Amino acid sequence: MPAVDDSRVLVAALTRDDAAVYRISDDRALVATLDFFTPIVDDPYTFGAIAAANALSDLYAMGATPLFALNIVAWPRDPEILALVGDAIRGGADKMIEAGAFILGGHSIEDREPKLGMVAVGEVRPDELLTNAGARPGDRLVLTKPIGTGILATALKRGAVTEQEMAEAIRSMLTLNAGALAAARASGGVHALTDVTGFGLLGHLHTMLAASGVGARIHAELVPVFPGVREQITAGAVPGGTVRNVAAAASFTAWPEGVDDAMRTLLCDAQTSGGLLMAVDRDAASDLLARLHETGTPAAVEIGEVTAAGDPPLEIVDDIP
Ligand code: CO
Ligand code: CO
């Protein structure tokens, strides 16, 4: 994409941040993001609500407050499947209302496979903007949701798990990252923030490290994982995006001696509506974790620390500190 040089553009595509940010006055900026995908669960209402939580997540990851959204709908004309689109749209609309925002319009086309998502628009004070740049050596890395939704969704499509069995992952995908952002703000010590989605935990961490000019160490055994994920990796339920993420991670990650493929797959699993990944000042880390617990985020775990830039920038260790 061509670079943009305009003082009103505070964040553009070049830094691979979570959303675009456009200043409209000295103390206000618009934040916009777009996300859509194929059904991740069978229940259409739940799919719509997850799509909304996922789209809003990129606003929270910039420190923004959601304002409104527009639907993007691609859906088959087959009467049996068409009958489900209303529930999917209702699920998205209800989740937007929970976030204090509204769906105000959208666009639909016919497609062979259902797809649903949103353009989400929010606002932020320019001096309160949180980006993926700003992590400093010594910062603690905190994650607010377990990982493994890509693997579980693939297992669901294969009939290897039921929605019942992945209920904890579904509850997590339905959880707005609003509470996690509020905890980050209240702690006052968060230097960098992003959300974990399609590029997986390591991919999004690497983007943060590159934007901040630092490295990191992750304690693999501390990373929270949804129940049943390890078994499904062994059974081969690995989505294509996760396989590509594992290949990409090889160029920026040092793995511990004798690490198995399952661990690489797990840490690179493509997430939907994943948690926030925060680099927090070491002196503010315990206060942040306490606030996250209080808010009831699906996880609140310190998984590693920021280091000086190294080659490769990211080191995975299998000890427990
Ligand atoms: Co994001
Ligand atoms: Co996104």
Q: Is residue 218 domain-shared with residue 262, that is, in the same domain?
A: yes
Please give the distance, rounded to the nearest whole angstrom, from the Cα atom of residue 218 to the centre of ligand 2: 23
* CATH code where residue 50 lies: 3.30.1330.10
Q: For the segment 6-22, what is each residue's pLDDT rounded down to a tens digit?
A: 999 998 877 778 899 99
169 CA → ligand 1 middle, Å: 18
Q: Per the structure, how many domains does the chain have?
A: 2
Whose atoms come closest to the Cα of 58: which ligand? 1
Reading the block at residue 154, the tokens are 């693939």
Query: What ranges in the chain are assigned the alpha helix state H?
Result: 44-60, 79-82, 85-98, 149-157, 167-174, 178-187, 200-212, 229-234, 240-249, 261-267, 285-295
Centroid of ligand 2 to alpha carbon of 319 (angstroms): 32
Kindly state the tokens that stand for 42: 């069978």
CATH number of the domain that 236 lies in? 3.90.650.10
Q: Quick one: pLDDT at residue 115?
A: 98
State in Å: Cα 78 to ligand 1 middle.
Answer: 33
Residue 54 CA to ligand 2 center (angstroms) comes to: 8
Q: What is the per-residue pLDDT for 111?
A: 97
Provide the 10 A C-beta neighbour count for residue 138: 14
Cα 227 to middle of ligand 2, angstroms: 25
DSSP state of 269: P
| Among candidate residues 128, 152, 182, the one where a domain is terminated | 128
Centre of ligand 1 from the C-alpha of residue 258, in Å? 31
Rounded distance from Cα 217 to ligand 1 centre (Å): 21
C-alpha of residue 26 to centroid of ligand 2, in Å: 26
| Joined tokens for residue 141 | 């890395």
Which amino acid is located at 50 in the chain? I
4 assigned to some structural domain: no
Is the residue at 272 inside a domain? yes
What's the pLDDT at 20?
Answer: 93
- For the beta sheet containing 28-37, the strands, ordered from the edge strand earlier in sequence to the opposite edge, are 9-11, 20-25, 28-37, 115-124, 65-75, 102-110
State the pTM of this model: 0.96
Domain annotation covers residue 2? no
The residues, any chain, with a CB within 8 Å of residue 126's CB and separated by 6 or more, are 10, 21, 23, 26, 27, 28, 29
Tell me the torsion sign for CA atoms 98, 292, 17, 147. Answer: negative
Cα 204 to Cα 202: distance, rounded to the nearest angstrom? 6
Domain range enclosing 162:
140-317
* Domain shared by 152 and 296, yes or no: yes
> Which pair of tokens denotes residue 320?
């427990």
Spacing, Cα 77 to ligand 1 middle (Å): 32
Q: Are residues 310 and 173 in the same domain?
A: yes
3-state secondary structure labels for all residues of 31-79: EEEEEEECCCCCCHHHHHHHHHHHHHHHHHCCCCEEEEEEEEEEECCCH
Give the separation between CA 65 and CA 50, rounded to whole angstroms.
18
- What is the distance in A from the centroid of ligand 1 to the CA of 61? 7
**Nearest ligand, CA of residue 132?**
1
pLDDT of residue 321: 64
Does one domain contain both 97 and 177? no
pLDDT at 16: 79
Residue 13's pLDDT is 74
Which run of H or E residues covers position 303? strand 301-307
**Same domain membership, residue 313 and residue 245:** yes
Residue 317's contacts (CB-CB under 8 Å, 6 or more residues apart) are 217, 218, 219, 220, 256
Task: Give the closest ligand to the alpha carbon of residue 37.
Answer: 2
104/188 same-domain check: no
| Cα atoms found within 13 Å of the Cα of residue 4, Cβ hemisphere only | 14
148 with 170, same domain: the answer is yes
Residue 305: name the closest of 297, 293, 294, 316 by CA: 316
Structure tokens at 99: 């976030």
pLDDT the model gives residue 11 = 86
Using the structure block, give the residue that is written with the tokens 């920038």.
313
Distance 116 CA to ligand 2 centre (A): 13
Residue 15: its pLDDT value, please?
A: 74
**Residues lower than pLDDT 50 in the chain:** none
Q: Which residues contact 190 (CB under 8 A, 6 or more apart)?
A: 130, 184, 278, 279, 280, 281, 284, 288
Residue 211 lies in a domain: yes
pLDDT of residue 196: 98
